[in-house]
């Protein structure tokens, strides 16, 4: 899935879901090292677990963050592929 982010330094998130597990998560833009770390940590993680760990993380008072945007992207994926 390709998801255009809102309110963050990263511009988009790309990922795949296979059998309910996240794979190949990558961010375009943003803090490269941190986002590589997030991508590595969620590799193979259940989508529902990832959402519960990442949603509502706030970056510098923006009301969202790159991890929060990933949770939103996963939720959108689940809605579209229910």
Q: What's the rounded Cα separation, in Å, for the pair 12 and 66?
A: 9
* DSSP conformation letters of 3-29: EE-SSSSEEEEEEEEETTEEEEEEEEE
Count the domains in the chain.
Answer: 1
Percent of the chain with pLDDT over 70: 100
Q: What pLDDT sits at residue 25? A: 98
Whether 27 and 12 have beta carbons less than 8 Å apart is answered as: yes
Q: pLDDT tens digits for 25-59?
A: 999 999 999 999 999 999 999 999 999 999 999 99
How confident is residue 4, by pLDDT bands cut at 50, 70 and 90? very high
**Does the pTM of the predicted model rise above 0.95?**
yes
For 13, the domain range is: 2-80
- pLDDT computed for residue 43 by the predictor: 98
DSSP state of 46: B
């Amino acid at each position: 899935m390709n998801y255009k982010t809102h309110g963050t330094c990263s511009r988009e998130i790309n990922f795949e879901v296979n059998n309910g597990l996240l794979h190949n998560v990558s961010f375009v833009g943003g803090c490269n090292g941190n986002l590589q770390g997030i991508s590595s940590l969620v590799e193979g993680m259940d989508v529902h677990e990832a959402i519960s760990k990442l949603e509502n993380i706030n970056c510098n008072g923006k009301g969202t963050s790159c991890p929060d945007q990933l949770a939103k992207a996963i939720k959108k994926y689940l809605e579209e592929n229910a």
